[in-house]
Structure 1
Amino acid sequence: MASCAKDMRTATAQACEGNHMSTQTVLSQQRSMPANEVEQHATTGTTPPVVAASPAILDRIIAFVKRFVFLRTQSMYLLVALWIIATYLHGEFQYMGYLFIHSPEKGSGKTRLLEVLDKLVYESAGIDCAPTAAVLFRTAKGHTQLLDECDGWVDIGVLKNILNAGFQKDGQTSRCEQERSGAVTVRKWPVYAPRAIAGIGRDILSDTTQDRTFFVEMVRQTKEEQREKIRGRRFVSEAADLKKEIEQWVKTHRAAVAELYESMNEAELPYLKDFRDRTIDVSEPLAVVLEIAYKDNPEMRERARLDFSEAIAAARQEKNNYAPHIKILKDLLAIMEGEELIEQPSVLAERLAVPNGTKPVFIELEISEALRHYGFPQKSHRTDRGPRLCYVIKRAFLKEVLARYAQ
């Protein structure tokens, strides 16, 4: 048995290398297998099948994109990863927001991001640097369109109308077409499709088109920020493997995503409710993917919600009133009775309880992170349980932080 266990650890390490997964992840999956199956694999020298946990697909997409693309706002990697998965599911959604990849100067990585997307998104139509209206509406259905150099499009006025309609499921355009008989008929073309649009400048798209997009700001990299170069076969092979994982995840979770999205008619996700209606429209599909991906890991889900709400605020140029840190600070201000509060996070968690007092709204860790993030000091303070390390919360400073970041 000792020899079998050693062989199992060797096989596990090899599996980790082949699948870019940690040994801890694979072992945890093996521990969930029946004992007889684990022993069988150890005896035969084969590797147990590795089935990644739901959140792992997002982690792997983020890690892959990070290797080749630099984004100054870290939370944007999560938004891009969610958008990639959502392209496979866009038929389940009423709206599909575009990615607007822009920079102030050339050489900032816009086309590089499109190249990465081209290998990962659902049925890419390829990268088009000079699309015509006919190309846009004839290749919309069943494809993801990647559009480059939009600052140089000569017929932007015509394309604008298709882009403005194409983020909504029932968007369409009509064209007269001549049949072989010579008769002319009017044909309606669906224009709904996932799209990523890239160009130099923030104002190259009309206000209406911008309102359908997530702004993804690109900047020229410093030497310290340089990413890997895209190298032919290796890049294509790794991207193809990741794409297969995405397709499998979508196949497994499509029904759950569709069901949760449909329920948004009766209820809304709390971290989206303070955004504008249009922002909610285009963000809900990505949020639903997030919720399903992290449904079995509440702690990771809460952190992802925070990152996602931060990314939405940046990508939609709106204030983020949901961010848990801000909500914690607001609730702390509400319970303060004097000008200063000195307390442990565990006690604060108890005080910030839901009305019936059955469970805290925020766990200690989240409270500590919020207070530490905004610079609230700590000091040793004597309590009835002896000396404890407590946070010092002054009303004036708390109100100042909220005035700066929550308005």
Structure 2
Amino acid sequence: MAEESSESSLLFPNVEPCPSVVDGAQLLDDLVARFKRHSILPPHGAETVALWILFAWAFDAWAIAPLLQISAPERASGKSRLLELIGTLVPKPLATGSISAAAMFRVIEAHGPTLLVDEVDTFLKENRELVGVLNNGHLRSQAYVVRCHGDEHEVKAFRVWSPKVLCGIGELPDTLASRCISIQMKRKRTDEKVERLRADRLEWAVSLKSRCARWAADCIEGLREADPELPDELDDRAQDNWRSLIAIADLVGEGWPQKARAAAIGISAPQATGNATRGVQLLSDIRLVFEQGQVAALAPEKLAAALRKLPDGPWASMSIGTGLNTQQIAKMLAPYGIQSRRNHDGRFYDRRGFEDAWARYCPAPLPKAVAGVAPDTQAGVEAIAANSHDGGKDD
């Protein structure tokens, strides 16, 4: 036991809490200023990361642990710089460029570090076991993985409950992405300047960490009891992810409750994330096509053609550049219980068949009834569909 304690102290030197009471709002302001000094962050990014830093220091207060994701579309976008900066400020930072599932659950069991994983795009997507470990670590009551252990292959439950930051290019697997608060970085312009982070000049970090440690020690009991009001614009999982950060903001006050909620909506509301599944994106874009066309029904071929023409959609580049086709539409809509219908001229999609899925998966004001079209009249629907002559090739 003494040997383990010695090893831990070598890996993670003790942080002495500040001797005086810490003003939480000022501490967050100072963290934000430090992030903006060294990184070009998206709107709400500095405030979100500052709140997450205090979340990590008060980690024992929470039932849910949102991962912090740092992502970008291209290299040289400041991701690793931000990860390094976070590593100077969190408790027990452990940085790695790759890690196996076994190494992850063993190091968390032994030390409970703040895990800082860079280059996740190079190894994570093909590693289902590691994704499973990360997913399990989201909910405290389920933050265990069960494995055989030792020469006798005894069954042991390893704890995977710790703060984690994932950094890389592109998207994460959907199940993991839903457990993240995501900071989307961009490459800085030539006219944007930041101060280089010097590994040999981190005295400021010692002071900030000392203040974070004292604030967390003083406030952790109040945070355990917190039940903040969460923005209705967030879905259930996003509300879970932001609960701890908004609780921190409410506790410190002085404008931070408003900043935190604005950040939550700006970063994690469905319209802000752009991280909808392909199926939900298809439903949303089909609604747009119906609305733009002011029709109550569309033949599959016409629907596919309209989707391929949407300027910001992925549909034109599917199928090795030939674009989305009717069979793909049918396959993607089937899990939502949506099928094309047939009349004497061919198949068509009735707008009414989408309304329940729209309300459940991508809620937004539905298009108004089209003038001159009676959507509840089958004859009117079939009359529109009859113009297509699709041939009914989709299933």
Answer yes or no: same fold by TM over 0.5. Answer: yes
Q: Which of 19, 29, 36 is residue 59 of structure 1 equivalent to?
A: 29
Distance 1:275 1:163 in 2: 22
Give runs of aligned pairs for residues 65-84 of structure 1, distance below 5 A: 65-73=35-43, 75-84=44-53
Aligned position for 1:241: 207
Q: Which of 169, 175, 178 is residue 211 of structure 1 equivalent to?
A: 178
Deviations 1:73-95 (A, max 9, x none): 1x221111010000111221110
Conserved? CA contact 1:167–1:194, under 8 Å: no
Conserved? CA contact 2:233–2:265, under 8 Å: no
Conserved? CA contact 1:279–1:316, under 8 Å: yes
Aligned position for 1:108: 77
Question: Does residue 1:120 correspond to 2:89, yes or no?
Answer: yes
SS at match of 1:225: coil
Distance 1:108 1:274 in 2: 29
How far the C-alpha of 1:273 sits from its partner, in A, is: 3.8
Q: Specify every segment of 5 or more residues in structure 1 that has no aligned partner in the other structure, as ranges.
A: 1-48, 295-299, 321-405
Conserved? CA contact 1:215–1:314, under 8 Å: no
SS at match of 2:86: helix
More contact order relative to length (CA 8 Å, sep ≥ 6):
2
How far the C-alpha of 1:118 sits from its partner, in A, is: 0.7
How far the C-alpha of 1:52 sits from its partner, in A, is: 4.9
Conserved? CA contact 1:213–1:316, under 8 Å: no
SS at match of 1:91: helix
SS at match of 1:222: coil
Q: Specify every segment of 5 or more residues in structure 2 that has no aligned partner in the other structure, as ranges.
A: 1-18, 273-363, 366-395
Q: Which amino acid aligns with 2:33?
A: A
Runs (4+) of structure 1 exceeding 3 A deviation are: 49-52
Aligned position for 1:288: 247
Q: TM-score, normalised by structure 1?
A: 0.59
Distance 2:121 2:21 in 1: 44
How far the C-alpha of 1:140 sits from its partner, in A, is: 2.2
Deviations 1:3-54 (A, max 9, x none): xxxxxxxxxxxxxxxxxxxxxxxxxxxxxxxxxxxxxxxxxxxxxx986533
Distance 1:99 1:178 in 2: 33
Question: Does residue 1:164 correspond to 2:123, yes or no?
Answer: no
How far the C-alpha of 1:274 sits from its partner, in A, is: 4.1
Q: CA 1:184 to 1:72, structure 2 compared with 1: closer, same or farther past 3 Å? A: closer
How far the C-alpha of 1:230 sits from its partner, in A, is: 1.2
Q: Which of 115, 131, 136 is residue 99 of structure 2 equivalent to?
A: 131
How far the C-alpha of 1:232 sits from its partner, in A, is: 2.8
SS at match of 2:200: helix
How far the C-alpha of 1:307 sits from its partner, in A, is: 2.7
* RMSD of equivalent CA atoms: 2.0
Distance 2:160 2:23 in 1: 35
Equivalent residues, number: 252
SS at match of 1:108: coil
Deviations 1:352-407 (A, max 9, x none): xxxxxxxxxxxxxxxxxxxxxxxxxxxxxxxxxxxxxxxxxxxxxxxxxxxxxx97
Identity of aligned residues (%): 27
Q: Which amino acid aligns with 2:190?
A: K
Aligned position for 1:5: none
Aligned position for 1:200: 169
How far the C-alpha of 1:222 sits from its partner, in A, is: 1.2
Distance 2:260 2:85 in 1: 21
Conserved? CA contact 1:147–1:197, under 8 Å: yes
How far the C-alpha of 1:317 sits from its partner, in A, is: 4.1
